[in-house]
Amino acid sequence: MLSLNSEGLPVTVSASKFPERWRVAVFLAAAAALNYGDRAVFSVVLPSIRSEFNLSDVSLGLLGSLFLWSYALVSPLAGTFADRFSRSSLVLISLLSWSVVTTLMGAVNGFLFLGVLRVALGLAESLYMPSAVALLADHHSPATRARAMSLHIVGFNLGMILGSALAGGLAERFGWRCSFWVLGLTGILLACSSRTFLCDVAPLSSFRAPSYSVAAALRFLIRAPTFYMLLSVAMLAGVAVWIFFNWFPLYLRDRYSFSLGVAGLAAMLMLQVSSMLGIVIGGWISDRLAVQDIRQRLLVFGIGYLATAPCLLLFLFRPEFATVCVAVSSFSFFRSLAAVNELPVLCEVVPVQFRSTAIGCMNTAATAAGGLGVLAAAMLKQRLGLETVFAGLSVVFLIAAAAMVIGYRSFICKDLERAKQWESEHSANPA
């Protein structure tokens, strides 16, 4: 195995140590926890921010959307960087940058400064996903890829839980700014330990050669119907997921009169504990079925989203808290069981040389759509109520499930073969 020294040159690492591929996966899971922990903090302290700066619901929605839109704007560029430069270095740059921005958010003095930092956070975090996911795919073959990516997604979910618990507790005791300082400084410390864990993988010439242009990547992607399908599903899921992440803690606080800490923790426990279970089970099922037929990942993807839709309809009946717990936990379980297949499928229909570019494009689609969803939910909140908004998301998942069934039956086989053929023809001599 190879890693990079301080000058960016490959060096040999002993294979007798803890397997490098899992060392990388553990570090990325920790970084992912901080990534989503930072996002969870903002959702939990929204009521405090609303009170201190006297903001309307639309202003709160705009703050959520600014982060997502700036993230979406830069994600394609971040993807092309990760296909041309050291992926481990880009992960480190992103981690350090978003941690500094998070620390600064504890010092904001008004809506304008907060909006600027939300944009900066989106720009900093946009570098992470294309580099991190492609780095995992580089280190893991199809036999372990879904499990490695499941561990990474578990990191995201654990970060949401811990970030919410931390934010609620610190906000009630020390004020809402303290949680931003704690998470930001923790991220800076994690970045300082990256040399022990992070490395790129051989052969470097397969995916870092600068002769692979952005145009070459786009030419490949626009001829891959499965990529269009995944892009569409990412947009649909982005709308639903970001509406929930942004508005569900506030819904619990307003609907059931919970305290800030209880509302934030309850929301993330419902969303993330069952989500982690779905991720683990979904990753195991996905890898088992992929050994027989890689196409089966897409089938699990579609079935999971189909099971997700009915869970949200319970919100139409203005449910009691116990019913909400069951509905949201079930929603989160089936959504995660399905979504854990998304990136493994993408990595198998797109050649290794173009994976980060593809992931960047998907991030743009998902977060841009999510930003619109968050703002739309803010506008619909007063007219329809959040229960109706949440229930309406069931239609989103039904459409996504139908798209994946069509992909499974119609074109994924051709795209899998095309990706293998492209890699075989270009692995030694990039075009």
Q: Nearest to residue 117, comparing CAs of 99, 128, 96, 101?
A: 101
Cβ contact 249:40 at 8 Å: no
Higher-confidence residue of 164 and 174: namely 174
Cβ contact 312:391 at 8 Å: yes
Place of tokens 């198998």: 348
pLDDT of residue 334: 93
Mean pLDDT of 315-336: 88
Report the 10 Å Cβ neighbour count for 189. 9
Report the 10 Å Cβ neighbour count for 291. 10
Higher-confidence residue of 3 and 308: namely 308
Q: Nearest to residue 362, comparing CAs of 57, 79, 139?
A: 79
Q: Is residue 176 over pLDDT 90?
A: no
Place of tokens 């995201």: 156
Q: What is the pLDDT of residues 373-424, one digit of tens each?
A: 888 888 888 788 888 888 888 999 999 999 888 888 888 889 888 888 887 7
Confidence of residue 108 (pLDDT cuts 50, 70, 90): confident
Q: What is the pLDDT of residues 127-154, one digit of tens each?
A: 888 888 888 877 877 777 777 877 887 7
Rounded distance between C-alpha atoms, residue 119 and residue 69, angstroms: 8
pLDDT of residue 213: 67
Q: What is the pLDDT of residues 223-263, one digit of tens each?
A: 889 988 998 988 998 888 888 877 887 788 878 877 766 77
| pTM (predicted TM-score) | 0.65
pLDDT of residue 256: 82
* Structure tokens, 328: 């949201």
Q: Euclidean distance between the first and final Cα of the chain, in Å?
A: 25
Distances (CA, A) of 122 to 116, 118, 253: 10, 6, 27
Confidence of residue 215 (pLDDT cuts 50, 70, 90): confident
- The fraction of the chain above a pLDDT of 90, given in percent, is 6
Rounded distance between C-alpha atoms, residue 177 and residue 190, angstroms: 21
Averaged confidence pLDDT in the chain = 80
Highest mean pLDDT: which of 5-9, 55-59, 115-119, 374-378?
Answer: 115-119
Q: Is residue 100 over pLDDT 60?
A: yes
In sequence order, the 6+-apart residues with CB closer than 8 A to the CB of 120 are 70, 101
Higher-confidence residue of 8 and 195: namely 195
Rounded distance between C-alpha atoms, residue 237 and residue 329, angstroms: 17
Residues 18-197+214-426: name the CATH superfamily.
Answer: MFS general substrate transporter like domains (1.20.1250.20)
Higher-confidence residue of 169 and 187: namely 187
Domain boundary assignment for the chain: 18-197+214-426
Q: Is residue 305 over pLDDT 60?
A: yes
Higher-confidence residue of 209 and 317: namely 317
Rounded distance between C-alpha atoms, residue 195 and residue 110, angstroms: 37
Q: What is the pLDDT of residues 271-290, one digit of tens each?
A: 778 888 888 888 888 888 87
Interhelix angle for 87-105 vs 128-139, to 10°?
Answer: 140
Report the 10 Å Cβ neighbour count for 320. 9
Q: Is residue 208 over pLDDT 50?
A: no
Q: Please name every residue paired with 10 in a beta bridge, in sequence order, or none if there are none.
A: 4
In sequence order, the 6+-apart residues with CB closer than 8 A to the CB of 198 are 24, 27, 88, 91, 92, 135
- The fraction of the chain above a pLDDT of 70, given in percent, is 91
CA angle 242, 123, 159 (to 5 degrees): 50
Reported residue count of the chain is 431
Q: Is residue 1 over pLDDT 50?
A: no
Mean pLDDT of 333-358: 85
Place of tokens 């870092």: 208
pLDDT of residue 203: 47
pLDDT of residue 21: 78
